[in-house]
Amino acid sequence: MLPRLFTVTALPLMLLAGCTSPQQKLAQWAQASGATTTVINTVEFPIQAVIPTNLKPSSRLTFYIEGDGHAWATSSQPSLDPTPRSFAVAKLAMGRYPGIYLARPCQFIMSPACNSAAWTDARFSPPVVEAMNAVVEQLVQRYSATSVELIGYSGGQRSHC
């Protein structure tokens, strides 16, 4: 009786645990790493950010910009969700030289403006670049920074060029 009860109650709980969204997983990881997640809204795209909880106003603000993530399901087929599979860039942002992690548009958060072009052929289009610039500008003002350091990974290195 006890093994059957365990199976009946444990299986649904394990299945529910597997339903955690990437955004929820990022929030759990951030909290365990001494950071908080926040969504910064722009005209077209909400942008997911991870900010160290001990970040204070500073003259220099460092941003770690996510790469293309999971933009392609195959070499010719865009994925349905460009959210990165790992938190490698976020981990860099919380590492030895801490800074603010910025996901790219449509990563972690889908908005009406999101379509596969936004994370493939149009990933450096004016609306995408303007959204990233707007987020950086908002955070520069919030933390009273006078200079900015941008660290990009893969496609993230071009999003402010």
Residue ranges per structural domain of the chain? 19-157
pLDDT digits (tens, 9 = 90+) for 94-148: 998 999 999 999 999 999 999 999 999 999 999 999 999 999 999 999 999 999 9
> Whole-prediction pTM value?
0.84
Q: Where are the beta strands (DSSP E) in the chain?
A: 35-41, 46-52, 60-65, 100-102, 147-152
pLDDT digits (tens, 9 = 90+) for 74-100: 999 999 999 999 999 999 999 989 999
> Are 59 and 147 in contact, with CB atoms under 8 Å apart?
yes
